[in-house]
Amino acid sequence: MDSDKLRVFLKVAETGSFSRAAEVLGYTQAGVSYVIKSLEEELELQLVERNYNGIRLSEDGIALYPEVCRAVHAADSFRFAIAGRKNNTSLTLHIGAIDTIATRWFADAMHYMMDNYTGFHFDIVKGNPFEINRWLEEGVIDLGFTEHAWASRDFYWGELTKDPYYGVLYSKENITAPCPFEAFHNREFFVADYGEDRNSITYLRSRNVTPVYYPDKISNTLIVKSIALGMGSTIMPASMLIDSGMTRIGSKFFPKVVRMEDNVMRELGYIVLESNRQNPMIKQFVAGVAAAIEKDVMWNEFVEMDVWTYNDLIEANKRNILSKESQK
């Protein structure tokens, strides 16, 4: 049986739509419909029920779904093993990533790979977007995880998620969502990520806002702690904020965290050589990162909030821990 047909079935089941599955897979809607019909004829079973409201898995489709998942994983694992034998070497995927993506989601992605496939090894190096562009161009890495704004247009880009920006100010500031950029004019300001977050500088300059930049290039954790004590301010994306140790600050000193006006955000995703887009190792690792993002309870809750509070953060962190425990 053609495993590619099974992949199409899985994507239809995941998206609940022929058109969305076609978009993800790079097929036409008619092509997806044809593959599903062909698979149903081959199995002599109806897998999908079609009606005016869309599609849903049939009783047989629901029953076979976990078996199809296992069959596709087995087929991929077999292909990887063959490739390894042909090359007479173990399979190593060389990956470059900006810190926020690697820190938050790579551990879960690697567990996903090791749980489902054999023979994988990872060589991961962290860098800024410009380093990742250069490493991919020079062949140092096979796959890069970065920001769309700074990704080279010479590579294929795939989006994974959007990362909204928040204003971070002293708790007693009288500012409500959305936080205006003007609030940072002539105000002492930390540039996030050891001074490497160029997006915040670009946003401010484009709106003719001139803060008083701190010369110190410090970690996001120290930035948030300083602001909590009444020193300075910043604009920071949600991914950096969540991993800045805010749960350890305490409710008394928790800073004001408010979504920025104009809903400014950065796009996070991956870059790869066009010739490597269909590499099964790359596709599966990207799928693992996408799955980690989807299951990240804390992330998915907080990117929808206009204002963060200490209690919200603590409760979301508890739910995230419980979710990870239940997935083991």
Domain CATH for 7: 1.10.10.10
**Which among 111, 119, 118, 150 has a CA at the least distance from the CA of 134?**
150
Asked if 256 and 166 count as a contact pair (C-beta separation under 8 A), the reply is no
| Torsional sign, CA 189, 194, 197, 198 | positive
27 and 7 both lie in a single domain: yes
154 and 274 both lie in a single domain: yes
154 and 190 both lie in a single domain: no
170 and 254 both lie in a single domain: yes
Point out which residues pair with 167 in neighbouring strands: 235, 258
Q: What pLDDT shows up at residue 328?
A: 55
CA distance 86 to 82: 6
Is residue 301 domain-resident?
no
Q: Fill in the DSSP letter of residue 49.
A: E
Is residue 321 domain-resident?
no
29 and 143 both lie in a single domain: no
Is residue 246 domain-resident?
yes
Q: What pLDDT shows up at residue 80?
A: 59
**For 4-8, 140-144, 208-212, which range has the lowest pLDDT when averaged over its residues?**
4-8
Give, in order, the Cα–Cα distances in Å from 273 to each of 1, 158, 288.
30, 11, 19
70 and 118 both lie in a single domain: no
67 and 132 both lie in a single domain: no
Q: Which residue has the higher pLDDT, 29 or 70?
A: 29
197 and 81 both lie in a single domain: no
255 and 167 both lie in a single domain: yes
- The strand ranges marked E within the chain are 48-51, 54-57, 91-97, 120-126, 143-147, 156-169, 188-189, 212-213, 234-237, 256-259, 265-272, 307-308
Domain boundary (70, 85, 100) is at 85
Asked if 292 and 108 count as a contact pair (C-beta separation under 8 A), the reply is yes
**Which among 245, 222, 261 has a CA at the least distance from the CA of 313?**
245
Question: Number of structural domains, the chain?
Answer: 3
pLDDT tier, 75 (very low <50, low <70, confident <90, very high otherwise): confident
154 and 179 both lie in a single domain: no
Is residue 303 domain-resident?
no
Asked if 223 and 170 count as a contact pair (C-beta separation under 8 A), the reply is no
Is residue 111 domain-resident?
yes
190-202 tens-digit pLDDT = 999 888 888 999 9
157 and 274 both lie in a single domain: yes
**Which among 205, 204, 200 has a CA at the least distance from the CA of 149?**
200
What is the mean pLDDT of the segment spanning 79-99?
69
Is residue 138 domain-resident?
yes
Identify the domain containing residue 113 by its residue range.
89-161+266-296
Domain boundary (85, 119, 144) is at 85
Asked whether the predicted pLDDT for residue 86 surpasses 60, the reply is: no
Asked whether the predicted pLDDT for residue 327 surpasses 70, the reply is: no
Q: What is the CATH number of the domain that holds 271?
A: 3.40.190.10
Is residue 318 domain-resident?
no
Is residue 302 domain-resident?
no
φ, ψ at 8 (rounded to 5°): -65, -45
171 and 243 both lie in a single domain: yes
- The pTM of this model reads 0.70
Mean pLDDT, the chain, rounded, equals 85
